[in-house]
């Protein structure tokens, strides 16, 4: 039995399952303060006697295994969680092998091993919701360097008809500032799901997301791009994004996956809302294999 945690800013999903990704039981716990949330999390895994644990966490987090603060949540605005030693806390409580990474990197791993990118050794997973984040698997390995990627904060060109200033507290009009769920609501005065029949909303949204995907294609060259999160549940946006990616690239990457079969290249998650928790199970499997 393996354990998995998808730690989000509003809720923790904790699950136990098998090495093949089958989830046997799961619970949801509100993300309050660590003092309120973590005892419930630890109790769940103690009851199930798991052999290894995989954690995908909201961030920013320290995923450098040589760092003294490896496994910490770092500069989050979430009250009580700044510099929280997440990994250390779980290791001291459970005494089992544990692997730790970002929520989006773990979702990318889940989709590669069990979802839309099965059969590939590379994919990019981007979530577009309250914020925007992306993770990537390259040659079978989760992508990291100095830290984990922060692809949600790349800079984008402003749409000529868009006067919205952006809402990112760090960069104002970066990708997240212009295209995350709150940007849609602040720009139009309504939530995205209330605007599904307004074509101009999704044209502008696709304009920003397609620019980001172009940058990822040119830098990481993923073999599959998977787009999840609340905003991407508006299925009408996918054809707009694909078309704009093709127009932006303008034949510069002359590969059939992009020029002829882009509907199979830029896709929603095959695992739906389970990409993160499934990826965390796969991370637990890796932790067990390393022992």
| Letter string b/e over residues 92-101, b meaning 16 or more CB atoms within 10 A of that residue's CB | eebebbbbbb
Q: What is the pLDDT of residue 9?
A: 86
Q: What is the pLDDT of residue 280?
A: 97
- Taking 90 as the threshold, does the pLDDT of residue 82 lie above it? yes
Task: Give 159's DSSP letter.
Answer: P
Secondary structure class of 201 (helix, strand, coil): helix
Q: For tokens 């399952």, what's the residue?
A: 17
Q: What is the pLDDT of residue 77?
A: 78
- Where does the pLDDT of residue 76 fall: very low under 50, low under 70, confident under 90, or very high at 90 and above? confident
pLDDT in tens, 246-260: 999 999 999 999 999
pLDDT in tens, 192-211: 999 999 999 999 999 999 99
- Taking 90 as the threshold, does the pLDDT of residue 85 lie above it? yes
Q: What is the pLDDT of residue 212?
A: 98
Are 229 and 257 in contact by the 8 Å Cβ rule? The answer is no
- Taking 90 as the threshold, does the pLDDT of residue 232 lie above it? yes
**CA 276 – CA 274 distance, rounded (Å):** 6
- Where does the pLDDT of residue 275 fall: very low under 50, low under 70, confident under 90, or very high at 90 and above? very high
Beta strand 225-228 with 266-267 is parallel
**CA 282 – CA 276 distance, rounded (Å):** 10
- Taking 90 as the threshold, does the pLDDT of residue 236 lie above it? yes
Q: What is the pLDDT of residue 146?
A: 87
Instruction: Order the strands of the 98-102 sheet from edge to edge.
Output: 23-30, 11-17, 2-7, 53-57, 98-102
Task: Using alpha carbons, list the distances in angstroms from residue 162 to 6, 159, 192.
Answer: 35, 5, 16
Are 290 and 52 in contact by the 8 Å Cβ rule? The answer is no
- Where does the pLDDT of residue 17 fall: very low under 50, low under 70, confident under 90, or very high at 90 and above? very high
pTM listed for this prediction:
0.94
Average of pLDDT values for 133-157? 94
What percent of the chain has a predicted confidence (pLDDT) above 70?
A: 100
Task: Using alpha carbons, list the distances in angstroms from residue 285 to 136, 166, 179, 235, 279.
Answer: 19, 40, 35, 33, 10
């Amino acid at each position: 039995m393996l354990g998995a945690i998808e730690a989000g800013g509003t809720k923790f999903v904790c699950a136990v399952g098998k090495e093949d990704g089958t989830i046997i039981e799961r619970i949801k716990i509100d993300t309050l303060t660590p003092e309120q949330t973590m005892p419930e999390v630890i109790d769940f895994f103690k009851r199930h006697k798991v052999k290894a644990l995989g954690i995908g966490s909201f961030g920013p987090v320290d995923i450098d295994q040589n760092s003294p603060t490896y496994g910490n949540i770092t500069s989050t605005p979430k009250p009580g969680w700044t510099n929280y030693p997440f990994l250390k806390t779980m290791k001291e409580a459970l005494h089992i092998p544990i692997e730790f990474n970002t929520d989006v990197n773990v979702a990318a791993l889940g989709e590669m091993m069990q979802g839309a990118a099965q059969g590939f050794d590379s994919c990019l997973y981007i979530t577009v919701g309250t914020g925007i984040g992306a993770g990537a698997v390259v040659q079978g390995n989760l992508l990291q360097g100095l830290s984990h990627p922060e692809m949600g904060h790349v800079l984008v060109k402003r749409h000529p008809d868009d006067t919205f200033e952006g809402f990112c507290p760090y960069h104002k009009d970066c990708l997240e500032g212009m295209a995350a769920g709150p940007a849609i609501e602040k720009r139009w005065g309504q939530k995205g799901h209330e605007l599904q029949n307004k074509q101009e909303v999704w044209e502008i949204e696709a304009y920003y997301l397609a620019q980001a995907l172009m940058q990822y294609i040119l830098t990481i060259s993923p073999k599959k791009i998977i787009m999840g999160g609340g905003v991407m549940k508006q299925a009408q946006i996918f054809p707009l994004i694909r078309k704009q990616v093709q127009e932006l690239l303008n034949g510069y990457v002359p590969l059939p996956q992009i020029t002829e079969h882009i509907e199979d290249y830029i896709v929603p998650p095959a695992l739906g809302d389970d990409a993160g928790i499934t990826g965390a199970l796969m991370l637990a499997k890796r932790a067990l294999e390393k022992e």
